[in-house]
Amino acid sequence: MQKFQLSRRQTLAGLSAAGAMTVLGAPFSLSARAENTQVKAVLGIIRLASQAPSFIAQERGYFKAENLDMEFKYFEAAQPMAVAIAGGDVDYGVTAMSGGLINLAEKHAVKVIGGSLQEEKGLAGQIILASNKAYEAGLTEPKHLAGKSFGITTAGSSFHFMAYKIAKANNIPLSEITLRPLQKVGAVVGALTSGQIDAWAIQPSIAKKMIAEGAAKQIGLVSDVAPDYQVTTVFTSTKNAAEERAKTEAFIRAYSKAIDDYNAALVDKTASAEEVDAIAMIAHKYVEMDLPFEQAKTNLVNGAMRINKGLALSLASVTEQLNWFKDEKMVKDTITPEMLFDTSYVKTI
């Protein structure tokens, strides 16, 4: 797919201005390599199993091998992460596109530079859930969502977009579903478990755990209504994208190596049992630490979703999301794909 030439020129101009060196397959800084120093970088993270490549790259030294001294900063939702990146407190983020992120792109503050988690037919993917109370009252399929409530973190979040896709696929006006913004994923879990909301859609690592515990019922799959949905993206500040190209490519190389480990062990299942255990042990240091290892491993394996090789970006999906935000008047009509996406870093699919 054709890349946006404007973003390409901008990043090349930034490369020239910064005097940076780009050598694919090698640590990004000759001076850092010669002096054996590490360059500080901060990665924004939400504590979800889908963030496992972040943990793998850290624990297996992939960031370090690229001369990146990586620090994690944790968030509860996508929009605060975008604000932190625009402000320079965080260098890179891996999370869903949000209205806040897009509005910051319009101000030339952030750029989406890659894709991460993606729905794929044949994999469980994100699961549409009903509370036990709503299920018993007849909410056994998504087509029954009219007149019901649906949990989201914030307006303009990925949960909001999923509600739209589910409603559209079932010929339900979104206005007939009551959206309940609850700010944090944990708050949505609690509200669904207690029956304060009727429905939600979430990654399988959380959904399957809730189902196993009897806290909710499965009523559908997001992949049935959005089979190519780019769930999460990789983004950085416009300054990083334009002026820190070599550093950003180093981040992508390290992260991509961890993605290969993750997909082989948990999605394609081509890795050994010992490797699956090793990946699960790494994730367990960061996610579901309160659970016994075997239970956390089961949740991780059962909840695995495809993460795009090389952080490839599904341009059709993210462009659809941008257009939806415009249609819903959550972002300005004047925001163009070139403002939001820098497609010079990874393959587009």
Question: What is the DSSP annotation of 56-123?
Answer: HHHHTTHHHHTTEEEEEEEESSHHHHHHHHHTTS-SEEEE---HHHHHHHHTT-EEEEEE-BB--TTS
Numbered ranges of CATH 3.40.190.10 in the chain? 39-119+229-339, 127-224
Average pLDDT over residues 64-73: 97
> In the prediction, which pLDDT does 36 show?
62
Q: What are phi and psi of 12, to 5 degrees?
A: -70, -35
> Where does residue 271 fall: left (phi above 0), alpha (psi -120 to 50 degrees), or beta otherwise?
beta
Computed over every residue of the chain, the mean pLDDT equals 89
Average pLDDT over residues 218-227: 93
Above 80 in pLDDT, residue 7?
no
CB 163, CB 201: distance < 8 Å: yes
> In the prediction, which pLDDT does 184 show?
87
Q: pLDDT tens, 169-199?
A: 999 999 999 999 998 889 999 999 999 999 9
Contacts of 248 (CB under 8 A, 6+ apart): 92, 113, 236, 240, 241, 345
Selected residue with higher pLDDT from 131 and 303: 131
- Confidence bin at 25 (pLDDT 50/70/90): very low
Q: pLDDT tens, 252-265?
A: 999 999 999 999 99
> In the prediction, which pLDDT does 28 show?
54
| CATH fold for the domain made of 39-119+229-339 | D-Maltodextrin-Binding Protein; domain 2 (3.40.190)
H-assigned helices in the chain: 5-18, 30-35, 52-59, 62-65, 78-86, 99-106, 132-136, 158-169, 185-193, 204-212, 238-243, 245-262, 273-284, 293-302, 315-327, 337-340
Q: pLDDT tens, 126-172?
A: 999 999 999 999 999 999 999 999 999 888 888 999 999 999 999 99
CATH architecture of 127-224: 3-Layer(aba) Sandwich (3.40)
Task: Say if strands 127-131 and 216-221 run parallel, antiparallel, or are unpaired.
Answer: antiparallel
Above 90 in pLDDT, residue 239?
yes
Selected residue with higher pLDDT from 89 and 299: 89
Above 50 in pLDDT, residue 3?
no
In percent, the amount of the chain with pLDDT more than 90 equals 72
Above 80 in pLDDT, residue 200?
yes
Angle at 251 between CA 91 and CA 60, to 5 degrees: 115
CA distances from 191 to 133, 139, 182, 195, 213 (A): 12, 16, 9, 6, 15
> In the prediction, which pLDDT does 142 show?
97
Above 90 in pLDDT, residue 55?
yes
Please, which residues bridge with residue 152 across strands? Answer: 181
> In the prediction, which pLDDT does 62 show?
98
- The DSSP secondary-structure symbol of 199 reads E
Above 50 in pLDDT, residue 8?
no
- Confidence bin at 275 (pLDDT 50/70/90): very high
Residue found by looking up tokens 């559908």 in the block: 220
Q: Indicate yes or no: pTM above 0.85.
A: no
Average pLDDT over residues 1-20: 39
Contacts of 173 (CB under 8 A, 6+ apart): 167
Contacts of 308 (CB under 8 A, 6+ apart): 114, 115, 116, 117, 118, 259, 314, 349
CB 209, CB 134: distance < 8 Å: no
> In the prediction, which pLDDT does 31 show?
43
